[in-house]
Homo-oligomer: A and B are copies of this chain.
Amino acid sequence: RLSKKILVVAGDGIGPEIVAEAIKVLNALQADGAIDVTLEDALVGGAAYDAVGNPLPEETLVKARASDAVLLGAVGGPQWESLHISKRPERGLLGLRAELGLFANLRPAVLYPQLAAASTLKPEIVAGLDIMIVRELTGDIYFGQPRGVETLPSGERRGINTMVYTESEVERICRVAFDIAMKRGKKVCSVDKANVLECTEMWREVATKTAAEYPEISLSHMYVDNAAMQLVRAPKQFDVMVTGNIFGDILSDCAAMLTGSIGMLPSASLNEKGQGMYEPIHGSAPDIAGRGVANPLATILSVGMMLRYSLDAPEAADRIDAAVFKVLDQGLRTADIMSEGMRQVGTAEMGDAVVAAL
C-alpha cells in the first residue's frame, strides 16, 4: 500500500493549536498501523500573507495538488481585514477551492447527545438532529463574472456580482447529494429561489431530471427563505440538503448553530478525483488564539472525514468518531462546550484524551 500524502495548512488564529491536536491523532493511528500517511506543511491565509505577501503562495498550491488531502485549520483575523480583497486571508481559502476544483462541500450538522443542552433550541426540536448539507463550492456568485465596482457616467459607483451555474455543475453536485443520501435516509431537499431567480429555476429542473436516475431517492424542493424558516421550526425534517454556494454558505451556518456547538463540526470539500480539503467549520477565533483553550474536536473530526472520503480508511475514521464520542461521555469539555458537572480541559488535554480513547 502506498503512503498517502496529507498537506497540513494550519493558517491563522487558533489554526496552529487545533491542527496540532489533529496531527497527534494522525500520528497515533499511524503508529498502530491503521493508516499510512506522510505529512507536509505549507502556508495559507494571513500567515502566508505576512510571510510572503500572498495568502495563497504558489508553493502551497503545488504541494496541495500533489497531496491526497489537505487539512486546514482556519484563516482570517482583524489585522488583515483592511487589506485589498485580493490579498485577504479568505482568498487563500477560495483559491484552494477553485484551483483544486473542490466543488462539493459536505457540512454535517449533528447534535451530540452529550451536548444537547448547548443548543439554544428546545431539546425536543433538536434531539437526534443529523443533517448533511451538500453545498456547491466552486460556482455561483462566489466566482461568477462580471464582478467588481464600476463608476457610472454620473460619477456614482455601482457594484456587481454574478450568480452563474451551468447544467453540468448542478448535475454534478446533485449526484454527490443523491449518492450520500443513498447511504443515509434517502431524502434530499434541494434549495433554490426558483420563484424569482432564473438561474435557480434551472437548478430545480436539473435536480429533478438527475433525480430520475435515483428512483429510491425522494427529492423535494424548497425556496431558500422557507428553508431558513424550516431549519428553525423543525430541522429534523431534513436528511440531506443540496444547494448552491451562497445559499449553502448561509444555511449551513444556520444549521450548524442549531446544534449549539460549532466547535464540534467538521467539513469536507471534494473534487472529482476524490481529493479533498478538510477543515472545522468554526473560524480562526483570534480572540482566544494562543491561549490553549480552543476546541480541537471539529478539526479531529475533520481528520475522520478525510480518512473516510479521501484516504479510503473508513475503519480508522470510525475509530476517531468513536473516540470523540467517548471523551464527551467521559465528561471532558473545552470552554466553548463546558456545562455544569463536566470537567473543563484545554486544547492539548482534549487532543490527548482523544488519542487515549482511540
Contact = CB atoms under 8 A, between A and B. Distances in A.
A42 interface: no
A49 interface: no
B233 A254 contact: no
Nearest to A126: B120
Interface in A164-208: 164-168, 193, 195-203
A110 to B, nearest CB: 16
Which residue among A167, A201, A250 has the maximum number of chain B CB atoms within 10 Å of its CB? A250
A87 to B, nearest CB: 12
Interface stretch (A22-30, A98-106, A149-157, A303-311): A149-157
Interface string A247-271: 1011111101110101000000000
Nearest to A170: B159
A323 interface: no
Contact of A199 (B159, B256, B257): B159
A226 interface: yes
Interface string A310-337: 0000000000000000000000000000
A162 B162 contact: yes
Contact of A228 (B149, B234, B254): B254
A61 interface: no
A263 to B, nearest CB: 13
Nearest to A76: B195
Interface stretch (A140-148, A211-219, A344-352): A140-148
Given A120-B122, A163-B141, A168-B156, A254 B253 contact: no
A193 B246 CA distance: 9
A232 B251 contact: no
18 contacts: A141-B141, A144-B160, A147-B199, A156-B166, A157-B202, A158-B165, A158-B167, A159-B165, A159-B197, A160-B163, A161-B163, A163-B163, A193-B249, A224-B249, A228-B250, A229-B256, A232-B258, A233-B260
Given A141-B197, A228-B250, 20 more contacts: A76-B195, A90-B196, A121-B232, A122-B122, A142-B196, A144-B160, A147-B197, A147-B199, A148-B198, A158-B166, A159-B164, A159-B165, A159-B166, A160-B164, A163-B163, A193-B249, A224-B249, A229-B253, A232-B257, A233-B260
